[in-house]
Each structure stands twice: as structure tokens, then as C-alpha cells.
Amino acid sequence: MSSSSSTFKTIAVAGGLSSQGPISASLGGFIAKALVKEGANVVVLGRASAVESLAAKELIALGVTVKEVDYDSPSSLAAALEGVEVVVSTLAGPGFGAQVPLAEASKAAGVQLFVPSEFGNNTIGLPSTSPLYGKTALQTKLKELELPSLLLFPGPFADWMPVNISDNNNEIHIIGEGNADISFTSRPDVSSFLAHILTHLAPSQLLNTVVPIEAGRISFNALAQLLIAKNPSAKIVYESHESALARFASTGDFVAFLKVEWDQGRGVVAGKKEQLKNGLWPEWKPTDPREFL
């Protein structure tokens, strides 16, 4: 960080050069573009298979520096992170485990803040039996490394809400009772919020912080009624937790597991709205989740 500046200027984003994989696969691209708009010096890290992608070329045209890295090579990561102040990880799916060497290289390179690939439910204190425990374990690893972190919990992505609640059979699929509120925030709104606070707030406001945000909260039953108002012929189909978890166990349907989590009340990122950190950017005006229906 420049001695003449009280905010972060050089930020690396890991991931975001591929549209394949988990829903969050393209989040890195959203974040990189939002950082460019805020005037940051942006570096995007990608594997050899991704740095020649159309997404990479689009970012380069915007002024982003795209660097090829080998997550199995500490020297490759160290070279890519030279001069970087903040690392934002959007690694997910098969690439999620690469966050450990990325964090270790970040510490060695003098990175001042690490934003791990959270971007969903609050994962603090999860038991080792949870399928999401890898995120909790990484939080512990960052503490062991004494690498300051920022944990951003925006709930599920609002712009993927239609996929999560309906299908092509004119059915609205709800797991459990469907009455629990869920925090929703779209990927563009998550990205703009993160980019703004990283480039406008003093590091002292960001280091080792937990940042739950939401554009709005609503239950699946309430969403279903909105959908039926638009399409009266749609039918609601309820599935038990047991059935959904059995499908997750047999097929790896991770959304089924998440829907059970949400129905059990773990889809709200902060118990009380007063605990949300939306106020870190008072002018933030995220899109109401209902609009994505």
C-alpha cells in the first residue's frame, strides 16, 4: 500500500475466467470489472487453461492484468502476487482447495488482506461434518497464518433465484416448509459492494472483519406466491428434507443440501437486520431480489 494512500489500490482476483462449474464461477469476472470501475489496479489469476479465454480477453481490454498461475507452485503464486495488497478468492468447486496454497503465498508475498471464497451462507463455526466445513477450516488456516481476512456473507445469489425455485415442468420446487426467510443479493450487487469498500474504506475498517450484507430477505413460499401471480397454472411441489438430503448423498446435488440449510433458518446471513453491514456503503442501492423473478 502506498504511503500516500489510506486505501487499497492493487487487488488480485483469483478465478473468474471461466463460465463453467459452480454458479459462483463467473463471480470473479464481476468483481474484477467492479474494481476497475473504482479505479483499482486489478490483477486476475488463472490457470493456463483459462488465461486465453474470452472472459480473460474481455478483462484485458478493460485494463486488467491477467496472470497465469500454477496453484501447485509456490514460486508461481509468489511471482504473481508481487506488489498485491489484497487477494480476493472466488475459487470454487474443484478449485476450492487451491485457496490454501494461495493463502500461504499471499502471506509470503506481504498481502495485507485476504477475502476467501465465501459469498453465500454464514459459515463461521460450522462442524466438521458439514459439507461447507472447508470454508470454516480455511478461516482457521488464515488465523494460523496471521493473514488478515474479510468474510463477506451475502446469502445466495438473487440473479440465480429463478433456477433455485422453478423448473421447466411448470413446477415451483420447495424443500421443507418454505417459511424461513433467506438473504438474497445478486452477483453484480455483491461485486459492486465489495469493490467499493475495498477501495474506499481504510484498512483498519476491513482487517479481520465479518461483513454480512443482503439486498433483501424473503421466504420460498412468498416467492412462490409471486410466481403464481405471474403464472397461475404453476404448481407448488414440496419435498421433505430427508428426500433432498438423500438425493444430495446419492447424486451430489449441492443445491438440494443448500435448500435444506435455508429451510432450517441458515439462509439468513444475520439474525437481526441491525447486524447487517450494508451501512459500510450508505449509498449502496442493491436490486430487490423479487425483481429477478
Give the CATH number of the domain where residue 228 resides.
Answer: 3.90.25.10
Do 119 and 164 belong to one domain? no
Inside any domain, residue 46: yes
Inside any domain, residue 3: no
Contact residues for 183 (Cβ-Cβ < 8 A; gap 6+): 153, 154, 155, 156, 212, 214, 216, 217, 267, 268, 269, 270
Inside any domain, residue 1: no
How much is the pLDDT for 3?
Answer: 37
CB 9 within 8 A of CB 2: yes
Do 82 and 205 belong to one domain? yes
Q: What is the mean pLDDT of each run of 10 residues along the chain (293 residues)?
A: 69 82 68 97 93 89 95 94 97 91 97 97 95 96 98 94 72 94 96 98 97 97 92 93 97 94 95 95 97 88
Do 114 and 238 belong to one domain? no
| Bridge partners, residue 268, by sequence | none
Inside any domain, residue 90: yes
CB 108 within 8 A of CB 91: no
How much is the pLDDT for 5?
Answer: 56
Inside any domain, residue 275: no
DSSP of 131-183: TTHHHHHHHHHHHHHT--BEEEE--SBGGGHHHHHB-TTSEEEEES---SEEE
Cα separation, 112 vs 108, in Å, equals: 10
Do 111 and 164 belong to one domain? no
**Identity at 177, one-letter amino acid code:** E
Inside any domain, residue 273: no
Do 192 and 252 belong to one domain? no
How much is the pLDDT for 52?
Answer: 87
Do 99 and 198 belong to one domain? yes
Do 38 and 165 belong to one domain? no
Do 129 and 175 belong to one domain? no
How much is the pLDDT for 280?
Answer: 98
Cα separation, 195 vs 31, in Å, equals: 7
Cα separation, 13 vs 7, in Å, equals: 17
Question: Domain containing 249: what range?
Answer: 158-183+215-267+283-292
C-alpha cell at 185: 443479493
Do 58 and 32 belong to one domain? yes
The position carrying cell 469493490 is 195
C-alpha cell at 146: 496471521
Inside any domain, residue 170: yes
Q: Report which of 92, 15, 96 is spatially closest to residue 53, judged by C-alpha positions.
A: 15
Do 193 and 145 belong to one domain? yes
Q: How many domains does the chain have?
A: 2
Inside any domain, residue 86: yes
Do 257 and 141 belong to one domain? no
* Domain end (from 172, 194, 212): 212
The helix/strand/coil state of 219 is: strand
* Helices 27-37, 187-200: inter-axial angle, 10-degree rounding: 40
CATH of the domain at 63: 3.40.50.720
Do 58 and 197 belong to one domain? yes
